[in-house]
């Protein structure tokens, strides 16, 4: 199965139009990424404040299909994929009651923090990429088998 994160929509996520403010949806996706790192045994504090290695986002995009309201129960699933020796991306799907309400992607590059130059993905993140990729593939295979 691909990793999933359950998240309620809070009042502060919303705006005066009564729905989740668009940019906050990307923040919620990033929370799912953080939970997935923690589930893989990565220490979040160390990971996000590591003085030598960081994984800044170089691209993000998001598509909105349905509005999200205060109190809605979101299920965020994510599938990461390695793109090159120093890059990976994560695809997110947000579901409410079995309906996809948004999809998003974040693309990350591994850098040396002090010089801000690219460097090879660390073994820790490669392990996370592999585990989550395999879990997602297994889920896809099972789904396909059920259809056939």
Size of the site for its own copies (CB under 8 A): 44
The number of residues in the chain equals 148
Distance of CA 3 to the CA centre of its chain: 9
Could you say whether residue 6 binds its own copies (CB under 8 A)?
A: no
Site mask for its own copies (CB under 8 A), range 76-115, x = bound: ------------------------------x---------
CA-based nearest residue to 4, from 141, 148, 139: 139
Could you say whether residue 63 binds its own copies (CB under 8 A)?
A: yes
48 vs 137, which CB is nearer to its own copies? Answer: 48
* The token pair that represents 54 in the structure block: 């960081």
The answer to whether 15 is a known catalytic residue is: yes
Q: Rounded to an integer, what distance in angstroms lies between the CA atom of residue 122 and that of residue 88?
A: 12
Where in 15-34 is the site for its own copies (CB under 8 A)? 15-19, 21-24, 26-27, 30-31, 34
Contact predicate 100/65, CB 8 Å: yes
State the minimum distance, in angstroms, from the CB of residue 126 to its own copies.
21
Of 59-67, 76-84, 90-98, 128-136, which segment contacts its own copies by CB under 8 A? 59-67
Could you say whether residue 11 binds its own copies (CB under 8 A)?
A: yes
DSSP state at residue 85: T
Q: Rounded to an integer, what distance in angstroms lies between the CA atom of residue 76 and that of residue 114?
A: 33
Residues marked active site are found at: 15
């Amino acid at each position: 199965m691909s990793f999933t994160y359950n998240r309620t929509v809070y009042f502060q996520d919303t705006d005066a139009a009564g729905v989740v403010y668009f940019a906050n949806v990307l923040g919620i996706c990033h929370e799912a990424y953080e939970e997935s790192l923690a589930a893989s045994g990565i220490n979040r504090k160390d990971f996000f404040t590591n003085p030598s290695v960081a994984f800044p986002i170089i691209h993000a995009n998001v598509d909105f299909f349905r509005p999200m309201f205060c109190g809605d129960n979101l299920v965020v699933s994510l599938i990461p994929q390695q793109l090159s020796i120093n890059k990976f991306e994560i695809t997110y799907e947000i579901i409410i009651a079995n309906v996809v309400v948004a999809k998003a992607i974040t693309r990350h590059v591994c850098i040396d923090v002090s010089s801000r130059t690219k460097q090879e993905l660390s073994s820790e993140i490669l392990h996370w990429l592999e585990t989550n990729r395999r879990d997602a593939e297994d889920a896809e295979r099972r789904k396909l088998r059920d259809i056939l």
